[in-house]
């Protein structure tokens, strides 16, 4: 198993090159597993997680004493599903924020009032149209639901290697709550973290909400 393999590796003694190689190995293996997921598995994960995510949102809203600006993403291929979640946010009084990724792989955030406002990117992902959608500043966002390929219980994350989210989240003033959405199998024992990596504070799977101990 991938989890068992990673747990035996001493991350601290690795060179930067070896860490990068391990991250790529984890990415490749995890994407292969994700590609092979059945539609029934994904539907069941979405159904099971929606209640957990809704409770998570409600708890934060109650603590804050107000409605929230919630940044999600439009799931692509077999990413952890967000279609039902995004529709639920739109149907509530909370505001939905979605990312737009430019040609230099920099993320910009936009408010969305309807899925009909989205356009298909060159990569085939549904994204806000920056010409028509209202920009959202990171400091205005209360919660960000992050995608990813693999995570560990320290909050470390592996994406697609472009650094999009790390650059975007480096602007965070610590006010925004960062919560990764992941299938349970995407949580590994140990991921080699780089100084530029921005850890998440929570991981929400189809089974549980896991709070990172340092938060």
Sheet with 209-211, strands from edge to edge, namely 134-136, 107-112, 95-101, 69-71, 143-146, 177-181, 202-204, 209-211
pTM of structure: 0.89
> What pLDDT does 88 receive?
96
DSSP 115: G
Please state the rounded mean pLDDT for residues 181-189. Answer: 92
Please state the rounded mean pLDDT for residues 1-17. Answer: 52
More confidently predicted of 13 and 172 = 172
d(CA 82, CA 145): 9
CA distances from 85 to 42, 50, 70 (A): 13, 6, 11
Largest CA distance in the chain: 50
Per-residue pLDDT of 49-92, as tens digits, reads 999 999 999 999 999 999 999 999 999 999 999 999 999 999 99
What six digits make up the tokens of 16? 């930067």
Per-residue pLDDT of 130-169, as tens digits, reads 999 999 999 999 999 999 999 998 999 998 878 899 999 8
Lowest mean pLDDT among 129-133, 178-182, 210-214: 210-214
Alpha-helical segments (H) within 80-163: 83-91
Per-residue pLDDT of 18-44, as tens digits, reads 878 888 888 898 999 999 999 999 999
Whether residue 8 has pLDDT greater than 80: no
Shortest CA distance to 71 belongs to which of 146, 126, 174?
A: 146
């Amino acid at each position: 198993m991938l989890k068992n393999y990673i747990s035996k590796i001493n991350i601290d003694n690795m060179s930067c090159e070896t860490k990068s190689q391990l991250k790529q190995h984890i990415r490749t293996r995890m994407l292969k597993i994700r590609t092979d997921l059945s539609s029934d598995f994904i539907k069941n994960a979405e159904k099971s997680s929606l209640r957990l995510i809704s409770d998570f949102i409600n708890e934060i809203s109650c603590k804050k004493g107000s409605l929230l600006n919630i940044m999600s993403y439009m799931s692509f291929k077999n990413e952890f599903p967000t279609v039902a979640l995004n529709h639920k946010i739109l149907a509530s009084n909370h505001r939905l924020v979605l990312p737009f990724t430019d040609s230099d792989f920099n993320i910009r955030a936009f408010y969305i009032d309807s899925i009909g406002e989205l356009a298909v990117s060159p990569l085939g992902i549904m994204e806000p149209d920056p010409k028509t959608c209202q920009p959202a500043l990171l400091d205005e966002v209360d919660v960000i639901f992050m995608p990813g390929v693999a995570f560990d219980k320290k909050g470390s994350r592996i994406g697609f290697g472009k650094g999009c989210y790390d650059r975007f989240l480096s602007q965070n003033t610590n006010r925004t709550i960062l919560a990764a959405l992941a299938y349970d199998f995407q949580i590994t024992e140990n991921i080699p973290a780089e100084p530029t990596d921005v850890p998440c504070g929570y991981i929400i799977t189809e089974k549980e909400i896991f709070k990172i101990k340092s938060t």
